[in-house]
Structure formats: C-alpha cells, structure tokens
C-alpha cells in the first residue's frame, strides 16, 4: 500500500484521501502560518524513505483534513525559533490581506480578516520590538486564527496571487514560504491597486492596519 501511495504521489503530486476511515485530527500549532486550521496539507517524500527516487513535494486537499479541534498554546509557540516564527507570521499575515481582496470574500470573512489583521499588526509590532511575553503571543495567535477563518473551505479558497508565488518560489528555491511572501507581497499589492477593474479594497486594508486616516501616506507605510 505504501508503494502504491508513493507512486501516485510521484506521478500526480498529491494523494487520494479515502472516503472513510480517517480518524479525527487534533492540531497543536507551533508556528504562525495558520495552515493547521485548514483542509489542506503539504507533503514531502525523500529518497531516504525508500519509496521515491528523488525528493518530491506536493499537497493534499480534502474536507476530512479539517481538524476537529485546534489548541493554540502561546507558551508552546514561544519555544519555536524566532526565524521560523517570523517567516511563518508573514504567511499568516498575508492570508488576512488576500482574504480582503478575494473575489469570493463575504461579510463574515471581511470581519474576521480585518479584526485578525488588527490583532497581528499590534502583536507582530510588539514581537518585532523584542517583546516575548505570553500576552504578545496570545494577541498574535488570536490574529492568526481570525485571518485563517474562511480561507480554506470546500471548493474554494481566498488565497491567491501571494500564495501562488510563495508556493512556486519554495518549490524552486531554498526559501521559507513566509519569507517569499515578504518579498512578493508589496509588488502584488502595487499591481492590484494599479490594475483597472480590480477592487483590491485598499481602504479596508488601510483601516485594518490603523492607517486609513493617515495624513502622510509615506509615513503610514508599514
């Protein structure tokens, strides 16, 4: 059975999820990417497994992968190396940004994304300033849960251009996905804001980040 699964993965880049027999998933995140609370999963196979000839990466998507419960422990997350936390935080942060301009956004996802970005803006600024108290991690984790809401649902997602580039760069280069997001997101937003016929909802994003009424636009850049 393992060999058959490996062959399917090598040929298609994904694995078929069985219709029944999956045990409930309980997620205990240790990063800030937010993907733990989703119906998708990344998969990697290496030659060391004895099942594939070269390293292969891909993904799986199925409603059965959505956790039955998720436990966000700020004290546990605080033990993760800072470089991993910083990169993964950018991954989570961008989910809030992309949910706002997604064509399938809803009033509910607008509210959760905005509130999540507000939490992340406060928490990540404190984290960047060197604050490592549990209260800071609690604020960040609240933001991660909120921006993740609605991004992964049966048949659709609010992730788009930023995540597309992030996934592509990590498959061809040795770079953390969140770090890749940090590089591409300013260019993606500039493209969207300047594109005719595209409502990138810059005003809503600015309000979420607390700079919607800034008199000096350059000073408001975060």
For residues 161 and 88, state if they share a domain.
Answer: yes
- The predicted pLDDT at position 174 comes to 82
Q: Which of 38, 69, 100 delimits the end of a domain?
A: 69
Length of the chain, in residues: 222
For residues 105 and 193, state if they share a domain.
Answer: yes
- The predicted pLDDT at position 195 comes to 86
Q: What's the number of CA atoms in the CB half-sphere (13 Å) around residue 95?
A: 28
**Which one, of 145, 1, 17, 136, lies nearest residue 71 by Cα?**
145
Rounded CA-CA distance 138/120 in Å is: 10
Rounded CA-CA distance 208/65 in Å is: 30
- The predicted pLDDT at position 110 comes to 93
DSSP 40-56: EEEEEE-GGGTS-SS-E
Are the C-beta atoms of residues 181 and 166 closer than 8 Å to each other? yes
For the segment 191-200, the average pLDDT, to the nearest whole number, is 84
For residues 78 and 133, state if they share a domain.
Answer: yes
For residues 177 and 193, state if they share a domain.
Answer: yes
For residues 154 and 128, state if they share a domain.
Answer: yes
Res. 206 pLDDT band, cuts 50 70 90: confident
Domain that holds residue 9: 2-69
For residues 54 and 81, state if they share a domain.
Answer: no
For residues 134 and 151, state if they share a domain.
Answer: yes
- The predicted pLDDT at position 221 comes to 56
For residues 61 and 83, state if they share a domain.
Answer: no
More confident residue, 54 or 81: 81
Q: Each residue of 105-123: pLDDT tens digit?
A: 899 999 999 999 999 999 9
Name the token pair of 211: 């700079």
Rounded CA-CA distance 215/38 in Å is: 39
The pTM score is 0.85
For residues 202 and 93, state if they share a domain.
Answer: yes
């Amino acid at each position: 059975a393992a060999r058959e699964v490996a062959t399917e993965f090598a040929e298609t880049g994904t694995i078929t999820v069985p219709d029944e027999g999956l045990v409930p998933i309980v997620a205990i995140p240790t990063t800030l990417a937010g993907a733990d609370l989703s119906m998708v999963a990344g998969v990697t196979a290496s030659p060391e497994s004895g099942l594939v000839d070269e390293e292969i990466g891909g993904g799986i998507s199925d409603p059965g992968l959505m956790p039955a419960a998720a436990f966000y422990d700020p004290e546990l997350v605080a033990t993760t190396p800072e470089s991993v936390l910083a990169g993964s935080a950018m991954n989570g942060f961008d989910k809030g940004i992309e949910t706002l301009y997604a064509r399938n956004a809803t009033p509910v996802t607008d509210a959760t994304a905005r509130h999540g970005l507000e939490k992340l803006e406060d928490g990540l600024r404190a984290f960047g300033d060197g604050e490592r108290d549990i209260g800071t991690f609690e604020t960040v984790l609240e933001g991660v849960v909120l921006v993740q809401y609605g991004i992964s649902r049966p048949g659709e997602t609010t992730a788009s251009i930023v995540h597309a580039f992030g996934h592509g760069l990590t498959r061809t280069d040795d770079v953390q996905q969140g770090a890749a997001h940090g590089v591409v997101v300013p260019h993606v937003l500039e493209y969207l804001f300047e594109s005719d016929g595209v409502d990138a909802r810059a005003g809503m994003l600015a309000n979420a980040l607390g700079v919607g009424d800034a008199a000096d636009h350059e000073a408001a850049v975060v």
